[in-house]
Amino acid sequence: MKKRNLTFYLFIIPVLLWLMLLIVFPHVDLFLSSFQFENDDGVTVLSFNNYLSFFEDSIYWLTFLRTALYSISITVLAFVVTFPVAFYLTKVVSRKYSSFFVLLLLIPIWVGELVTIYGWMILLSDYGVINSFLIYLGIIDTPIVMLYTDFSMIIGLLYMSMLFMIIPVMSALDSLDDSLIEAASDLGASKWTIATKIVVPHAMPGIASGGIMVFMLIIGDYVAPNILGGKSSLWFTEQIYNFFLTTINWSQGAAFGFLLLMLSSAIIWGVLKLTGQKLERVGS
């Protein structure tokens, strides 16, 4: 090996500090804390109690399952809703306007989740814009309850995450040569065939990265379920949040956090394996 020059150390020391102090050490500590349990004598001991209580109390593991299933379903929904848009913006609309349309996509992302979720709260509340509008039109007499339901929670989660699906899918579609679609059409393929046999397979890497981003954002979200979801719309992050900030039982919260991390890692790993993607591509 060549002798290392100073520059190498200049680069690697801050990077190591970042990764060790802020990524590795905290997660090791999270793992260790999850086994700490205060027994009846008030002494902290190592135990599986934090994990056992997860399985003993059905509200916990039911919420866990619910969160997982909802996250997967909303991720699929995000794909279904945004794919035609991504295709439209890359292949259909004239290039003159496409940058304007893409700009519109970016604004909600940068404005931030809190503001957009708040916007949905105004829209969906009993005296909100949608109900007022419907009453004004005479379609309904009394407001439909939309806020604080699973419906409003799904809308919120979908809204704040779907744009992270569009962007990678668009960049994947950008590299699809138009002549492939023209050729398929020339050979007599129907639109449906072209979409399922050519467009979607080509966009698969983008769909996978987008899917992972969206899934991760939804499963780890707190704002949308908490602000838009009702009392019955429990989300697993809310339980973690409660252990940390309300009932102050950190090791129990750590155990739940670790379970969430395992769940999301397992699903992401599975998707990466299934689609043959590399983690590296997810960020790009």
Partner 1 sequence: MIRSLPNSKFYKIGYRIYISLFYIFLTIPLVTICVLAFNDSNFIALPWEGFSLDWFFSDTTERLGLFADEDLLISIWTSIETGLFVAFLSTLVGTFAALLFEEEKFRFKGLLYFLALAPLVIPGVILGISILLSSTSAGIYIEDNFGIYIESLGPSFWLVVFGQFSFCATYVMLLVGARLKKFDRTLEEAALSLRASRLESIWYVTIPFLRPAIIGAFVVAFLISFSNFNTTIFLIGSDLTLPVDLYTRIRFSLTPVLNAVSLMIITFITIAAVINIFVNRKK
Partner 2 sequence: MDHILEVKDLSKYFVGFTAVQSIDFFVEEGGFFSILGPSGCGKTTLLRMISGFEEESEGDIIIRGESMKGIPPEKRPVNIVFQNLALFPMMNVEENVAFGLKRQKISKTEIVTRVKEMLDRVGLNGFEKKNVTELSGGQRQRVAIARSLVLKPSILLLDEPLGALDRKLREHMKIELKLLQKEIGTTFIYITHDQSEALVMSDKVAVMNKGRFEQIDTPKNLYKNPKTSFVAGFVGESNPFEITSYENGVLTTSHGWKLTKPNLDYTPLKLFIRPEAFILNPTEDLEGIDVVEMKVKTILFDGANTKISAIITQSNDEVLISLPQNAQFEDLKEGDMVKVGIHQDDLKCYKD
Q: Which residues contact partner 2 by CB under 8 A? A: 2-3, 5
Is 10 or 115 the residue whose CB approaches partner 2 more closely?
Answer: 10
Is 5 or 58 the residue whose CB approaches partner 2 more closely?
Answer: 5
Is 2 or 95 the residue whose CB approaches partner 2 more closely?
Answer: 2
Partner whose footprint covers residue 106, from partner 1, partner 2, none (CB < 5 to 8 Å by kind): partner 1
Min CB(1)–partner 2 separation in Å: 9
Partner whose footprint covers residue 97, from partner 1, partner 2, none (CB < 5 to 8 Å by kind): none
Partner whose footprint covers residue 24, from partner 1, partner 2, none (CB < 5 to 8 Å by kind): partner 1
Is 1 or 59 the residue whose CB approaches partner 1 more closely?
Answer: 1
Min CB(219)–partner 1 separation in Å: 6
In angstroms, the CA 147 to CA 172 distance is: 36
Partner whose footprint covers residue 160, from partner 1, partner 2, none (CB < 5 to 8 Å by kind): none
Is 3 or 96 the residue whose CB approaches partner 2 more closely?
Answer: 3
Partner whose footprint covers residue 3, from partner 2, partner 1, none (CB < 5 to 8 Å by kind): partner 2
Partner whose footprint covers residue 230, from partner 2, partner 1, none (CB < 5 to 8 Å by kind): none
Is 5 or 94 the residue whose CB approaches partner 2 more closely?
Answer: 5
In angstroms, the CA 238 to CA 226 distance is: 7
Min CB(178)–partner 1 separation in Å: 6
Min CB(4)–partner 2 separation in Å: 11
